[in-house]
Chains A and B, each alone.
Chain A
Amino acid sequence: MTMLKTTALLHNISLVLYGVAALLGALAAASRRIPPVAAFSAGAAGLAAQVVLLLVRWNAGGHLPVTGLFETQHFLALWVAAVALYFYLRYRGDSFLPAAMALAAVCLFFAGKGPMDVSPLTPAIDTPLFLIHVATSFAAYGLFAVAALAAVYRGAGLRGSSTGSEGRMMDESLYLGYILFTWCLIAGSLWAYLAWGSYWTWRIKNLWSWILWFYYSGVLHVRNRPRWQGWPVNVLALAGFALVLFTYLGLGLLFTTSHPLLPQK
């Protein structure tokens, strides 16, 4: 089987399994006949299929598969699913699972709309710094997505976990996401210094990445302050993810940036 066929097969398997996990999770929340562990199992199987897919592409391309829209969206979905499964285990977040799995499935659905072929690394991105930069970036984006989802649960008064730990889930996602995004910026800046002559460039994508970093720096400073509890921190987490989406997709699609989403002619 060719790499592209394997990719398509594993992609579809993980997409279907995440969809099934979302459905089973929603049914389990509505009826006691379906155990939440069924949704967890489907989600874990989807995650395993995704990991195999990325390993296959890593082997085929000879580099960590984090280039292009298809792979980055997979990476985003992988982190959303992995964090949701972790929250299921740690905080008994069985009610949180269906929404997170649905989000992962949506990411994969859009990933499948684009080309799936593995592109070779150009000399500019053929460096471990690039791979660290992109991998940590999308891991952070995934965590910020989970934080936004937890904010929706909190805002809507839904219980995301049997232990009532939605706030804790959001807090952890923001905290870890911020740490990973800091590493992303450090690796990106060092790479930019070696490749283009400056750790700081006045390019729109870079500037918006710093906006994102400062924004979440601010969120971390107030997230545990009594006056900011409740709706303010929920709104901040949601607005943060809107910023993430704009920085990741909006800028790449609307502007000519140093981080094009589609292959350059």
Chain B
Amino acid sequence: MRHGEEETPMKDDAQVRKAGGVVRARLTALWRVAVHPVTFVVLTILWCVDLAGGSIAAYFNDPQFWQKMDAYPFNLWLKQVAPRTFPASLWVYILVVLSYLMVLSLLLCTVNWFLRRRRRLRGYAEVLVHLGFLLVFGGFVLGSAAGSRTQVVLEVGRAAPVPGTELSLELNSLDLVQSPQGRPLDTISELVLYRGGSHLASGRVRTNHPLIHASTVVYPPDDYQFGVTGAVVGTSTSGAVTLTGAQDAVLRDGRSLSLGGVLSSGQRRGNLVGPGVLVVMRDAAGRVTGSAYLSEAPGMPAGAVVDGVRLTLGQLVQSAKGLYRVHHDPGVWLVIVGAVVLALGTLWALVVYFGVLRGE
């Protein structure tokens, strides 16, 4: 065997060892950079600058930008709305990337803390704050990806399915809370939440007191209405009939009565004063043959003759309805646990701080 042939494997081993050492050194350097507090600080500054500039630009582009964004879980907004507003939404994409990098830096820093098994009391406060924030972020990501936000319009005494879910919501009562001067302050709603007919939760909902079941929350109505929705009308040919927006009445001769509009108490349109209903008469072919406004308001007619039929207002059907928001956020409990851990971390930090003060 020639000399060179003996030497080659040894040379290769040395090169491999040298290369391994270089890789290890580079990985160690990379790890040090990743877990270094300054890395987190640089990312934080970039995050702050991006959010500060982006938030102001977005506000001036469209003052309603934020309200629109709040209507969706974040991931849905990012997938469906952000592409339509690109490049104005570019800063949000950058924010997402920076957020993940920042969280990665924080995560590695926390892992590094556990690896080095620091035993300083003050260190526990820091690590709790880190863990708390990571949990909050995890909850936010989960809620953004798998959460939903929907709205349901409910009339008192009615139930309606919650769109996109197996849930349904029933409104048993809706009361307005007013100030002594009569200014509307709040509403109180009695709600029942069902899944496939099984009762899940029920309660009185008002501002700051939503109906909560697991990760589903029902909020008080953003918009509500108390007013006339229909009427019971006496007819000279077919007795009393009930008219609502969804219910017409067919008379014995084939003609029909329907609701052309309503005015609630205090409302006006032209010479017409509420509360009252506009009743429309149609022939069998559906052509309008006449109409009359019937009202309970003083000075307004409670009866009229339309196309030969005497109509008399029996009773106005009045009801209340509200627009309820139903939010489903599977990450919320992770966020709450994270917030508790974060709070514990800061409490620990405070205890340590006062301990240090006493020690001095």
Contacts and interface: CB of A to CB of B under 8 A. Distances in A.
B55 A221 contact: no
A256 B149 contact: no
A186 B44 contact: no
A207 interface: yes
A29 B16 CA distance: 70
B240 to A, nearest CB: 42
B177 to A, nearest CB: 7
B46 to A, nearest CB: 10
B41 A123 contact: no
Nearest to B109: A221
B343 A186 contact: yes
B52 interface: yes
Nearest to B65: A202
B235 to A, nearest CB: 46
B52 A198 contact: no
Contacts of A109: none
A231 interface: no
Interface string B247-277: 0000000000000000000000000000000
Contact of A197 (B48, B186, B325, B346): B325
A193 interface: yes
A207 B55 contact: yes
Contacts of B70: 198, 201-203
Given A202-B69, A256-B63, A123 B208 contact: yes
A196 interface: yes
B138 interface: no
A122 B69 CA distance: 26
Contacts of B329: 198
B118 to A, nearest CB: 15
A211 B48 contact: yes
Give the interface size class of chain B: 35 or more
A204 B66 CA distance: 8
A214 B44 contact: yes
A179 to B, nearest CB: 5
B231 interface: no
B51 A210 contact: yes
A201 B69 CA distance: 9
B353 interface: yes
Given A175-B353, A197-B217, A211 B52 contact: yes
B350 A127 contact: no
Contacts of A190: 336, 339
Contact of A179 (B207, B219, B349): B349
Nearest to A181: B346
Contacts of A229: none
Contacts of B204: none
A207 to B, nearest CB: 5
A150 B37 CA distance: 24
Interface in A186-224: 186, 189-191, 193-204, 207-208, 210-211, 214-215, 217-218, 221-222
Nearest to B52: A211
Contacts of A124: 207-208
A167 B134 CA distance: 31
B59 interface: yes
A211 B51 contact: yes
Given A197-B210, A203-B70, A215 B349 contact: no
B332 A193 contact: yes
Contacts of A123: 177, 185-186, 206-208
A141 to B, nearest CB: 17
A263 to B, nearest CB: 14
Interface of B: 37-38, 40-41, 44-45, 47-48, 51-52, 55-56, 59, 63, 65-66, 69-70, 129, 140, 149, 177, 185-186, 206-210, 217, 219, 325, 327, 329, 332, 335-336, 339, 342-343, 346, 349-350, 353
Closest 3 interchain pairs by CB? A123-B207, A221-B37, A218-B44
Interface of A: 122-124, 126-127, 172, 175-176, 179, 182-183, 186, 189-191, 193-204, 207-208, 210-211, 214-215, 217-218, 221-222, 225, 255-256
Given A182-B346, A208-B55, 18 more contacts: A123-B185, A176-B353, A179-B349, A186-B342, A189-B335, A194-B208, A198-B70, A198-B329, A200-B140, A204-B55, A204-B56, A215-B44, A218-B45, A218-B48, A221-B38, A225-B37, A225-B38, A256-B63
5 contacts: A179-B346, A199-B335, A202-B65, A202-B69, A214-B47
